[in-house]
A and B are shown apart, each in its own frame.
Chain A
Amino acid sequence: MNRAALTHPVDGRFGAFGGQYVPETLMSALHELEDMWHEAKADPQFQLELAGHRRAFIGRPTPIYAATRLSEQFGGTHIHFKREDLCHTGAHKLNNAVGQALLAIRMGKRRIIAETGAGQHGVATATVCARFGLDCTVYMGTEDMRRQSMNVRRMKLLGAEVVEVKSGSKTLKDATTEAIRDWVTNVRTTHYIIGSVVGPHPYPEMVRDLQRVIGDEAREQYLSLDGKLPDVVVACVGGGSNAIGIFTAFIDDRDVALVGVEAAGKGIRTGQHAASLVGGRPGVLHGSYTYVLQDGDGQILPTHSISAGLDYPGVGPEHAFLRDIERVEYVGVTDQEALAAFKLLTAMPSRNWPISISSATRNEIRSCRVVAMAGSSLFSPRTRGFAVTSRGPL
């Protein structure tokens, strides 16, 4: 396993995964985006500007938090939470949205579109658009609009147009499909801010680059706290941007085990889940070759998770690669397990993912996986409402 293979996609692919399976109309836009991103990434002025927004607008660096009472419960395991919920708008999504908005401005595109599931990415995108004076349209499935209505109101308050997507399963998958259709139509004037490390190249690489700040910070913070690296880093995986964000910094630290937790819904065997890496097969979804939940004919299957943010039938192609080379272990956690962990964490408000665990035994890791799932999907304030919970008793 060499670093180059892990961090630099070759011809737009991480191993066999990734690629650009999109209509021809988008190809020149993707080529432009790739060039512009590499140019911006290497431009000190761009990096300086991004760093400024991270500090003053997003509120970085976010702290890591030692969950001492929770740790005691797990026999002295040292559990820490990287507090991405403390980012402005309440999730790591803003790390990506700010970077891509700056890039859109650099490309001269003033119209932004986005898809959203739980509404976090939609809110983050609407927020940056309000900040930079860009037009914003967010696609969201009917089902998600219903279960995340607070976020719909926030997006509208921020000046975004929220388009209801009534097709298919009426959730994140269909919102993404609809956003891509919009992009095919308005590609000359519009930048599509994808919310995760999914979609055609260069999105998985670009979103990873923008989210890796999570892990870069966490690694340093942990080192200065503990004088050594954690044994395990756990993160939940829907599309997988927060997970890639924290894993990337630890990829070369071979002694650090990386665990990705997928939404096993009502159980992998029931077919009602959203665990693409655990329960899916390689295929193409939204422009990328990756693990996909699909039937034998390549039709994308409906998903189920109690967490709107993880309810997606695909996953970032870099995760597919990390799974196949066995650098990251991917596991599934059911709705029921996640709810149990949610209750546990509510009683001890040391919420949040991704968590890193020091000195953990195998069994303890197993317990903590559940914690990570709950932390990311439920307890981590994916909506502002949960921020109230964070003021609860410690």
Chain B
Amino acid sequence: MVAERLRLEKALRADGDLKLVAYMMAGHPNRKRSIEVGKRLAGSGIAALEVGIPHSDPLADGPVIQRAGQAALANGMTVEGALEVAKAVATEGVPVVLMTYINPVLQHDPRKFAAESAQAGVAGVIVPDLPIEEAEPVAGWLRAASLDTIFMVAPTTPPDRMATICSHSSGFVYCVTVTGITGVRKELPEGMSDLFAEVKKHTPLPVAAGFGISRQEHMKALRGKLDAAVVGSAIVDEIERGGDGVALVRELLKACR
């Protein structure tokens, strides 16, 4: 199980490059299509795939991912269904990270959720509305199932708190680049490099940047400063238009090396 647990850490550690993590929503636009898209993304050269479990009230998400979640729910996606999507996609060999909100996990039963995620071959879990103060007992159940617990640091996180968040994390640390919600942005904020340097001081884990990242210029700006970049809304937008995001991923990857 130890090797299993290090899977995410290894996959995301930069090796002179920038790793790319893609995000997709389970059940968007529907279950069958999301499995197809997930498998294609898994084969596109990404280091890991984040699979979103839809929630009716996604506090940390912008309009694109919110819309995708609502479409998935309208098409009958459930927590159980999302775990099945994750399982189908995980067979491609790329580590799968689940991203959802705390209430679906609580209502599913955190212990059961952890066990079923592990069974589905999931590597780790991100819950953006679960700050470290509220993490237990959910994080404990995830760890007990050999899942990585990925916590977020934000531009508003003070340094001492950053250290605590990093110590709760495994697999990687998710660094939110912008003070805000998910969604494509033209430019990434200034002062971002200082934030990454600060996070790096507190953890030996790989650090991934997320929120607002969608362009080759972003990749170039991030490369060398941290390990990985998460691209979400830009891919979900492609999926919404009937695409699979693979062309976008390939284009972005060119700027990652």
Interface residues of A, Cβ cutoff 8 Å to B = 11-12, 19-29, 167-168, 173-174, 177, 180-181, 184-188, 281, 283-287, 292, 294, 296-300
Contact = CB atoms under 8 A, between A and B. Distances in A.
Interface of B: 55-57, 59-60, 62, 66, 70, 73, 78-79, 101-108, 128-131, 133-134, 151-158, 161, 165, 176, 179-181
Nearest to A25: B154
Contact of B161 (A21, A28, A285, A294): A28
B7 to A, nearest CB: 25
**Most chain B CB neighbours (cut-off 10 Å) among A24, A188, A284, A298:** A24
A28 B156 contact: yes
Given A20-B134, A22-B59, A299-B55, A284 B156 contact: no
B106 A23 contact: no
B164 to A, nearest CB: 11
B59 A177 contact: yes
A167 B66 contact: yes
A185 B66 contact: no
19 contacts: A12-B133, A19-B134, A23-B129, A27-B133, A27-B157, A28-B156, A28-B158, A29-B156, A185-B180, A284-B106, A284-B129, A287-B59, A287-B129, A294-B103, A297-B104, A297-B107, A298-B103, A298-B106, A299-B56
A181 B179 CA distance: 10
A156 to B, nearest CB: 24
Contacts, number: 117
Question: In terms of DSSP, what is the predominant structure of the interface of chain A?
Answer: mixed
Shortest Cβ-Cβ A-B pairs, 7 listed: A298-B107, A185-B180, A298-B103, A298-B104, A25-B154, A299-B56, A284-B103
Contacts of A187: 156, 179
A286 B151 contact: no
Given A181-B181, A185-B181, A286-B57, A22 B106 contact: no
A300 B156 contact: no
A252 to B, nearest CB: 30
Contacts of A21: 102, 129-131, 134
A91 to B, nearest CB: 26
A283 B102 CA distance: 9
A24 B176 contact: yes
A181 B59 contact: yes
B59 A188 contact: no
Contacts of A24: 128, 131, 151-154, 156-157, 165, 176
A299 B104 contact: yes
A25 B165 CA distance: 13
Given A25-B180, A284-B102, A297-B104, 20 more contacts: A22-B59, A22-B131, A23-B59, A23-B128, A24-B128, A24-B151, A24-B152, A24-B165, A25-B154, A27-B161, A28-B157, A168-B70, A283-B106, A284-B101, A286-B57, A287-B59, A298-B55, A298-B103, A299-B55, A300-B56
Contact of A184 (B57, B66, B78, B181): B181
Contacts of A184: 59-60, 179-181
Contacts of B104: 297-299
A181 B182 CA distance: 10
**Most chain B CB neighbours (cut-off 10 Å) among A25, A26, A292:** A25
